[in-house]
Amino acid sequence: MPLTANGDGAPVIDQARFRHVLGRYPTGVVVVTALDATGTALGMTVGSFTSVSLDPPLVAFLPDKSSSSWRALRESGERFCVNVLAAAQEDVCRAVAMRKTDKFHDIGWRPSPAGNPIIDGAVAWIDCVTEQLHDAGDHQIVVGRVEHLQLGDDDTPLLFHRGAYGTFTPH
């Protein structure tokens, strides 16, 4: 499909095509959690999560600037926990991704060392404090310094690929 140029000569990429092409790249699925001032669990489902640095230990996720879940997490403070979902937790992924107030009504969790929700059954969890925020188009890049992390009981993560959830089977 040919590209057109905008007023300054830069190519204009169709958003649907962009999503379709990048959908060929599988991503892990995480839920970023925190507690609000009243102690209520907050969370958002994220497919754009990555390790950044070993020294110091840094990770990053990229929330949409217009997300109400991101706004609530940001307003809760500087601390958050990244929960790597297990292959059997698509229901958790979908429940947290919905726009509703009590996302954790039917989701079991316990507090991390920093007090953030660790979702029962997660493959791993990573407790962080926000190190940096960067603007990046319609998203932000949130860089977190890792303070605590732990593996869960299951080692098969939930993946998102080509618009669907699934898992990975090694050769």
CATH number at residue 41: 2.30.110.10
Overall number of domains in the chain:
1
Task: Give whole-number Cα distances, 138 to 25, 52, 55, 118, in Å.
Answer: 20, 21, 29, 28
Q: For residue 104, what are its two tokens?
A: 């954790």
In a domain, 18, yes or no: no
In a domain, 68, yes or no: yes
What's the confidence (pLDDT) of residue 82? 98
- What is d(CA 17, CA 22) in angstroms, rounded to the nearest whole number? 8
CB 159 within 8 A of CB 29: yes
In a domain, 57, yes or no: yes
CB 44 within 8 A of CB 94: no
Residue 1 has pLDDT above 80, yes or no: no
Range of the domain at 53: 28-160
In b/e form, how buried is each residue of 3-39, taking b as 16+ CB within 10 angstroms?
eeeeeeeeeeeeeeeeeeeeeeeebbbbbbbbbeeee
Residue 55 has pLDDT above 60, yes or no: yes
Task: List the single range of 3-7, 8-12, 93-97, 130-134 with lowest mean pLDDT.
Answer: 3-7
Going across the sheet that includes 159-161, the strands are 27-28, 159-161, 164-166
Q: What is the mean pLDDT of the chain?
A: 91
In a domain, 91, yes or no: yes
pLDDT tens-digit map of 93-152: 999 998 777 899 999 999 999 999 999 999 999 999 999 999 999 999 999 999 999 999
In a domain, 83, yes or no: yes
Task: Give whole-number Cα distances, 137 to 46, 62, 140, 156, in Å.
Answer: 17, 11, 8, 33
In a domain, 15, yes or no: no
Q: For residue 70, what are its two tokens?
A: 């991101």
In a domain, 170, yes or no: no
Give the mean model confidence (pLDDT) for residues 2-14: 71
In a domain, 123, yes or no: yes
Residue 25 has pLDDT above 70, yes or no: yes
